[in-house]
Amino acid sequence: MPSPTSAARRRYRPSAAERDWLLRCYLLRATDSLAAAVVMYAVPLLVLTLTHSPGWAGLAFLLEWAPRLLAIAGAGPIIDRRSPRSAILVTSLLRAAAALATLAGLAVGTGPWLVLGFGVAAGMLAEASFLANEALGGEASRRAEDRAHRVQAVLTGTDQVALLIGPLLGGLLLLAGPALLLAAVAILSALTATVALTVRTGRPHLHLVTDTAAPRPLTGLATGLGVLRRTPALAWLVGALACVNLASGLLQVSAPITVTRTLHHSSAAVGLVWSIAAALSLAAVAAAHRAIDRWGLLSVGTASAAAMCAATLASALAPTLPLYAAAVGLLMAGEGAVTVVLRTARARLIPERAFGSTLAATVLLVLTPLPLAGLLVALWPADHLRLLVTITAAAVSTGTWACFRGLRAHRTSWTAAQDTEPALKAA
């Protein structure tokens, strides 16, 4: 007699048509994630190439990320009223059009403000398409039934690979000139739109931002902030994640300046640094599960946060490109591990009834340091950029230590569950 486990494994047998549909979903996720990754890392570098001004590069990062915060709150309700396929199709076509318009503008000699505008538009479209892809991933999981975890594993791996390849691809394309970079973004976006036309979807409910049929973003955010006020451990958690993002955001916007102006290497070296860092982050995320099983959430989180803070300081002092790349890689590895820890704790702390609203509020607060990092670089004197990184490293270290101390004081509220696996999958 077959065991229950064996029976469960045989329960779902997708047809050839369902397998084809799922492969199209994977391809759609891959092309969209790669286009978004190339834009995210290449726009500040493109602005620096055109202007040779660190201030402009910092402003590009600020303008690229600030509108994303609005997109997170507003895109979910819009996607709820349309299918994910339609949202991905529209955002991809708009991104392709924006890239081609920017390419045409540069050809006639317009200034860097056009690239800044492209960064704003591409950032907002990236968040909208991300939420739509999450909704499509939810539909794929429901279709897969007991194999849903395998679908999510592939989707998560796809995002990580895009973050690994995107910076390197953007740096290499920029060596041949801004035109090739923008053309590549347009091609990837057009390919995404083409694949989206072949993916038939229903209209699944998007729980990532809201849990009502016609939500109001401001009402949902107020509800989420109320949960934060009533849950001290969650507030400390958000603070820790914000500190992590301030450090990584500052490195993202300052790396092109440090590598090209201070260390005197090409734009391709910037992409190589971030690709190495992404690979180390992926390895750290993969290893975090076993480490948590052995030493616990709090110990792994504290050690990872300490490594991240030390790496931020080391990046400001590194005299050569290999040492700088090692520091950035260690920072991203520490960030990857600490993010697994903090997302696991967050999954336990957010109440089920207000999960969508609270998650939206936490995401907004956690991402706020990214445009702040761009503003700091834009306003800081370019010749003393490493001093800014040093000061930020000290501030991040102090803030992270305070947040983990607060988490330790309220650890009973987020360590009650005995099994970490479900939370890790939810993260």
Q: What angle do CA 43, 187, 17 make, to 5 degrees?
A: 125
Phi (first) and psi of residue 390, to 5 degrees: -65, -45
Between helices 54-80 and 84-107, what is the axis angle to 10°? 150
Predicted pLDDT of residue 258? 83
- Scanning 231-266, the segments in alpha helix (DSSP H) are 232-257
Please tell me the distance from the alpha carbon of residue 281 to that of residue 117, in angstroms, as a whole number: 30
- What does the pLDDT read at residue 198? 86
The confidence score (pLDDT) of residue 378 equals 78
Please give the pLDDT value at position 6: 43
What is the biggest distance separating any 2 CA atoms in the chain, rounded to whole angstroms?
Answer: 75
User: What's the distance, CA 233 to chain centroid?
Assistant: 23
309 half-sphere exposure, CB direction, 13 A CA radius: 19
Q: Which contiguous run of DSSP H or E holds residue 368?
A: none
Nearest to 244 by CA among 377, 393, 144, 385: 393
Classified as helix, coil or strand, 14 is coil
For residue 367, give both structure tokens.
């991402």
Average confidence (pLDDT) per 10 residues, the chain, 427 residues? 43 68 88 88 74 71 70 60 79 93 85 79 84 72 62 71 81 82 92 88 45 52 78 86 85 81 78 81 78 81 87 87 90 81 70 62 80 82 83 89 85 54 40
Q: What is the reported pLDDT for 204?
A: 42
pTM score of the predicted model: 0.63
280: nearest Cα among 304, 316, 256 = 304
Reading the block at residue 158, the tokens are: 């796809």
pLDDT at 347: 62
Per-residue model confidence (pLDDT) at position 201: 60
Q: What is the pLDDT of residue 61?
A: 67
Q: What are phi and psi of 13, to 5 degrees?
A: -125, 100
CB atoms within 10 A of CB 20: 12
pLDDT confidence of residue 14: 62
Residues whose CB falls within 8 Å of the CB of residue 274, separated by 6 or more in sequence, listed in order: 41, 167, 168, 252, 255, 328
Q: Tokens 């903090």 correspond to what residue?
A: 342
- Which 8-state DSSP code applies to residue 2? -
Question: What distance in Å separates the CA atoms of residue 210 and residue 359, rounded to the nearest whole number?
Answer: 9
Predicted pLDDT of residue 240: 86
345 with 410: CB under 8 angstroms? no
pLDDT digits 0-9 by tens, 248-281: 888 877 887 888 877 888 767 877 887 788 788 8
**Distance (Å, whole) CA 413 – CA 333:** 27
Report the Cα 335 to chain-centroid distance in Å: 12
Measuring CA to CA, which residue among 67, 169, 44, 193 is closest to residue 124? 67
Angle, nearest 10°, between helix axes 267-295 and 232-257?
150
